[in-house]
Chain A
């Protein structure tokens, strides 16, 4: 048989039954679209998580105070007063891998500017905190180490503060009052967006930790120490050294548990990523089921079609078609159905993802791999589910087939 005639014959047969072709394809279209959409949204969510983790800063290690024990019962991690300012200083000075360490103290408080006031979070941080967080200054400057040393009354504010308190005007040089303490605004932070937990990170006032501890919060212990490690490869060793140093400083005996927790951004990220990964798989497998159902639809229609077209097959055999010619024709019909369905499914999937992403406000990510896999799978579905009907057609006896009414 002429080679180019095989696909020609198959395509002709599909065109002869447009309605059936379209309806059969629909199953695959929906299956592939579901896979593309689910994977797209899932990956979008994962990448969003990843990005938020990156926004956390680079090579960041967080040290939280340990859980406070009350009669042998933990009342929550991070509630104990075990981390001091001196701990932070020691970490920075004694561990070579640590290039920055900022003892953090937070206060939810009211800030006053002229006749306006606004409820926000005031953070006490070291001068290198912005370096840890990879957070550039938009205008003005960050306070210096020297200013931290002398408990300077200065503040750096986030974008939300500029909008809410200063109504977009340039705040540099202005005075704000926090719990009666006058602070001069010396810098404005660039926009940072949402955090992993979904809070607005720009709603922030950063002051030297000395000022925060002594004048604003009244606390003496750090809520967390933000640490930046020299590079990615030093993370593990740095973690070990931090643990050792803090155990030594806290005079913990070998049998005692740590009274602090060392976490890396990866630890935080992993939990978040794992969740979104599970979701992606869950959605993709549901979508996969619909693709499978679509494949069974193809087999069903192809089987009916073989029965319905028995006379056609008989005639083809009578005029000289060989079994493999008929087999190939029906197989190509099934594969073309699936491939067209796959392409249609990609189009529909992309549109559906865009629509869902727009309405739900989720980011969507289209991976070429998902599309290639989807089309590959649909072609495989075609071969797999198309083979049995095609084989059945090719085994028909021409005499019997011609006699069928």
Chain B
């Protein structure tokens, strides 16, 4: 079943008399439970597409069905509810609130939920989300006391806490070293196995190789859309040590 269905999506930015077409007619269907990557160079329109997918922006033309609803007609309030309930965001620079514990950071989306949860429920759910990413023991730590990878895991927990249908990750490994990147991708793959639909924007093709579908954009149009057999992050992590050793050896011979 298609959870995301884009039909002839266009997005034009106007600054004065100059109009820039960021998206020039995107058709895309993604089924539930798919781990997809969106690739493209800067200016290809991938960020714009991500913003539209994340209901942060509205398309200029075309229709966007998310989980069966035509969100391209929704007003600001309804969009806020969709962002809260149906979508989880993970950003390149984590966007955790400073001087706020991991747990409180994860609780944040629940505070804006219309479900009117009890404080206890909010607390328990946030704790559970932290357990999923393996950071329950860091619940009381502030972001500045956590490593980059741990911060991104807190951000993932925050994205998961409202039990969203899809997870949108915008360059989630952009600020992380290779090994930590793999750990984050591993979490994504685990979540995907449990049925979560994941969209990941990236410009690194070796990161995109971990997803099962790679959509490539150029100049506001989809130029390729292929299904691939994803590499397993677990295997890559297991082989990590050797790879490191090989690199070191190479340096010695040089």
Query: Taking beta carbons and an 8 Å cutoff, which residues of A are in contact with B?
Result: 1-2, 4-5, 8-9, 12, 16-17, 311-312, 314-323, 325, 398-399, 402
Task: Indicate whether A399 sits within 8 Å of B108 (C-beta atoms), given known contacts A311-B95, A315-B95, A317-B80.
Answer: no
How many A-B pairs fall under 8 Å by CB?
A: 65
Chain B residues, CB < 8 A from A5: 111-112
Sample (17) of A-B pairs whose CB atoms are under 8 Å apart: A1-B112, A2-B111, A12-B104, A311-B95, A314-B95, A318-B83, A318-B89, A319-B89, A319-B112, A320-B80, A320-B109, A320-B112, A320-B162, A322-B80, A323-B76, A325-B112, A402-B91
Most chain B CB neighbours (cut-off 10 Å) among A9, A17, A402: A402
Task: Indicate whether A1 sits within 8 Å of B89 (C-beta atoms), given known contacts A320-B81, A321-B80, A322-B77.
Answer: no
Do B116 and A319 have beta carbons less than 8 Å apart? Answer: no
* Distance in Å: Cβ of A1 to nearest Cβ of chain B: 5
Smallest CB-CB separation from A4: which chain B residue? B119
Chain B residues, CB < 8 A from A321: 80, 112
Smallest CB-CB separation from B83: which chain A residue? A320
A334 to B135, CA, bound (A): 35
A144 to B145, CA, bound (A): 93
Task: Indicate whether A322 sits within 8 Å of B76 (C-beta atoms), given known contacts A12-B104, A399-B56.
Answer: yes
User: Other than the known A5-B111, A319-B158, A399-B57, what 14 A-B pairs have Cβ atoms closer than 8 Å?
Assistant: A1-B111, A12-B104, A16-B98, A312-B97, A315-B95, A315-B97, A316-B112, A317-B56, A318-B95, A319-B89, A320-B85, A320-B162, A322-B76, A322-B80
* Distance in Å: Cβ of A17 to nearest Cβ of chain B: 8
A317 to B77, CA, bound (A): 11
Task: Indicate whether A12 sits within 8 Å of B95 (C-beta atoms), given known contacts A319-B89, A319-B109, A325-B112.
Answer: no
A93 to B57, CA, bound (A): 97
Query: Taking beta carbons and an 8 Å cutoff, which residues of B are in contact with A?
Result: 51, 54, 56-57, 76-77, 80-81, 83-85, 89, 91, 95, 97-100, 104, 108-109, 111-114, 116-117, 119, 158, 162
* Distance in Å: Cβ of B125 to nearest Cβ of chain A: 13
Do B100 and A398 have beta carbons less than 8 Å apart? Answer: no
Chain A residues, CB < 8 A from B111: 1-2, 5, 8-9
Chain A residues, CB < 8 A from B91: 402
Chain A residues, CB < 8 A from B99: 16-17
Chain A residues, CB < 8 A from B89: 318-319
* Distance in Å: Cβ of A7 to nearest Cβ of chain B: 11
Chain A residues, CB < 8 A from B51: 399
Do B109 and A16 have beta carbons less than 8 Å apart? Answer: no
A5 to B56, CA, bound (A): 23
Determine which of A1, A4, A317 lies in contact with B114 in the assembled complex, contact meaning CB atoms within 8 Å. A1
Task: Indicate whether A318 sits within 8 Å of B112 (C-beta atoms), given known contacts A16-B97, A16-B100, A399-B51.
Answer: no
